[in-house]
Amino acid sequence: MEYKSLLRGSLIRRYKRFLADIRMDDGTGVVAHCPNSGSMKSCLETGAEVYCSPVNDPKRKTRFTWEMIRIGDGWVGINTGIPNQVVFDWIRKGIVPGFTQYSAYKREVKWEDSRFDIYMSNDNEECFMEVKNVTLKAGSQAQFPDSVTIRGKKHLEALTRLRKRGVRAVMLYFVQRMDVDSFAPARDIDPAYAEALDRAKEAGVEVHIVQAKVTPEGISFVKMLPAI
């Protein structure tokens, strides 16, 4: 995925979950949309370098979308709307291993009372996949979630039911930072989610972790990370 026309600034503050005050390089102060509903723990730092994408939608109250922040020596992608788009594209191109056997790919497919990010099928098999954005860092681990997620737990439970019916079910975590080397659920933040993930894995739900490198030029696949 390539970025175009990003504008640089520095973070003043993030507030009301979906808003951020940004000081642009030309000195202008702007309010940007923060496309991340989590706590953003470990990826918020006042004064840190950020990049925003301009928005030319007259219906939008904010003229910019905050895309990434520089933490330490690297970038962290904070836009939670990016991962399912990128993963869908990478799977169809064969970049993410393990999913080249399918002939049909769809996004946003409903099953029972849940909607999954990606659906894949061939003449012999169906596969449902949920994609989650990961920005939380604890030591050298990437962790999810960074705040309690009832919706995330519901997705895991639905994947578990699918697997028990013989359907391939996949939970994919998309890590948008390079300063981590493994993945684990954030048990101290949301123990109920971690327990649901344990039950899902026991039922046969697959867990895949993609590590992606985020830069102002774009997002690129790096490798699959091990899960703990």
The per-residue pLDDT for range 21-40, each reduced to its tens digit, is 999 999 999 999 999 999 99
Phi and psi at 122, nearest 5°, equal -140, -165
pLDDT interval class at 198 (50, 70, 90) = very high
Check whether domain 82-224 has CATH 3.40.190.10, yes or no: no
Q: What is the pLDDT of residue 4?
A: 87
Using alpha carbons, list the distances in angstroms from residue 101 to 50, 96, 148, 205, 207: 39, 12, 35, 18, 18
Q: What is the pLDDT of residue 60?
A: 85
Q: Cα–chain-centroid distance for residue 227?
A: 16
Helix (H, G, I), strand (E, B) or coil at 196: helix
70 contacts 78 by C-beta, under 8 angstroms:
no
Assigned token pair, 192: 């109920």
Phi and psi at 27, nearest 5°, equal 95, -10
Side chain identity at residue 11, one-letter code: L
212 contacts 135 by C-beta, under 8 angstroms:
no
d(CA 71, CA 64) in angstroms, rounded, equals 20
The pTM of the full predicted model, rounded to 2 decimals, is 0.95
Using alpha carbons, list the distances in angstroms from residue 193 to 55, 185, 216: 35, 8, 32
Q: What is the pLDDT of residue 228?
A: 74
Residues of the chain with CATH 3.40.1350.60: 82-224
Instruction: Judge if the upstream peptide bond of residue 145 is cis by omega within 30 degrees of 0.
Output: yes
Entry field: residues in the chain: 228
Percent of the chain scoring above 90 in pLDDT: 94
Helix (H, G, I), strand (E, B) or coil at 194: helix
Residues of the chain with CATH 2.40.50.580: 7-77
Mean pLDDT of 112-137: 96
Helix (H) or strand (E) run with residue 68 in it: strand 64-71
Any idea which architecture 7-77 has in CATH?
Answer: Beta Barrel (2.40)
Angle made by CA atoms 134, 46, 49, in degrees to the nearest 5? 70
Assigned token pair, 194: 């971690």
